[in-house]
Chains A and B, each alone.
Chain A
Amino acid sequence: MEELILQAENVSYAYEEEAAPALRDVSLGIRAGEMTAVLGHNGSGKSTLAKLLNGLYAPTAGKVTVCGMDTALDEYTWQIRQAAGLVFQNPDNQLVASIVRDDVAFGLENTGVPSEKMPAIIEKALRAVGMLEFIDRAPHTLSGGQKQRIAIAGILAMRPRALILDEATAMLDPKGRQEVFSVVERLNREKGITVVWITHFMEEAARCRRVIVMDQGKCVMDGTPREVFSQAEKLRSLRLDVPPMVALGDLLRARGLNISRDAMDVESMAGEVLKCQ
Chain B
Amino acid sequence: MLKDITLGQYYPVESFVHSLDPRAKIVLTIVFMVAVFLGSSLFAAIPIVLFILLTARLANLPIKMLLKGIKPLRIILIFTFVLNLFFTAGDTILVEWWKIRITREGLMSAVRFSLRLVFLVTGASVLTLTTQPVALTDGLERLLSPLAKIGFPAHELAMMMSIALRFIPTLLEEADKIMKAQMARGADFESGNLIQRAKAMVPLLVPLFVSAFRRAGDLAMAMEARCYHGGRGRTRLRILKLGKNDLLAALGTCALVAAVILIG
Contacts and interface: CB of A to CB of B under 8 A. Distances in A.
Interface of A: 51, 54, 56, 78, 81-82, 85-86, 88, 90, 92-99, 101-102, 105-116, 118-119, 122, 138-140, 151, 154-155, 158
Nearest to A86: B225
A57 to B, nearest CB: 10
Given A102-B237, A114-B235, A115-B237, A56 B218 contact: no
Contacts of A85: 225-226
B219 A94 contact: yes
B262 interface: no
Given A85-B225, A108-B237, A102 B134 contact: yes
Contacts of A102: 134, 237-238
Interface string B214-246: 110011011111111100011111110000000
A93 B234 contact: no
B86 to A, nearest CB: 46
B235 A93 contact: no
B219 A93 contact: yes
A112 B233 CA distance: 6
Given A96-B219, A118-B237, A81 B173 contact: no
A111 B227 contact: yes
A94 B234 contact: no
7 contacts: A88-B218, A92-B215, A98-B162, A107-B226, A111-B227, A138-B169, A140-B170
Contact of B235 (A95, A115, A119): A115
A97 B234 contact: no
B133 interface: yes
Contact of B224 (A81, A98, A101, A113): A81
A102 B234 CA distance: 14
Interface string B157-199: 0000011011001100100000000000000000000000000
B215 A158 contact: no
Contacts of B224: 56, 81
| The 6 residue pairs across chains A and B that have the minimum distance between CB atoms | A94-B222, A93-B218, A105-B237, A140-B169, A110-B227, A107-B226
Contacts of A86: 222, 225
Interface of B: 132-134, 162-163, 165-166, 169-170, 173, 214-215, 218-219, 221-229, 233-239
Given A54-B225, A155-B226, A97 B235 contact: no
A260 B221 CA distance: 44
B239 A115 contact: yes
B215 to A, nearest CB: 5
A149 B217 CA distance: 21
A97 B162 contact: yes
A109 B219 CA distance: 17
Contacts of B221: 51, 56, 88
Nearest to B239: A115
Contact of B226 (A93, A98, A106, A118): A106
Given A88-B218, A93-B218, A140-B173, A98 B229 contact: no
A180 B221 CA distance: 21
B235 A154 contact: no
With a 10 A CB-CB cut-off, give which of A93, A105, A122 has the most chain B CB atoms. Answer: A93
Given A82-B227, A109-B236, A115-B237, A98 B218 contact: no
Contacts of A105: 237
A139 B166 CA distance: 8
Given A109-B236, A112-B233, A94 B227 contact: no
A93 B134 CA distance: 19
B229 A78 contact: yes
B226 A158 contact: yes
Contacts of A122: 237
Kindly name the residue among B132, B169, B222 whose own CB sees the greatest number of chain A CB atoms within 10 A. Answer: B222
Given A90-B218, A102-B134, A102-B237, A107 B227 contact: yes
Contacts of B169: 138, 140
With most chain A CB atoms within 10 A of its CB, the pick from B134, B223, B228, B235 is B235
B126 to A, nearest CB: 21
Nearest to B166: A98
A244 B122 CA distance: 63
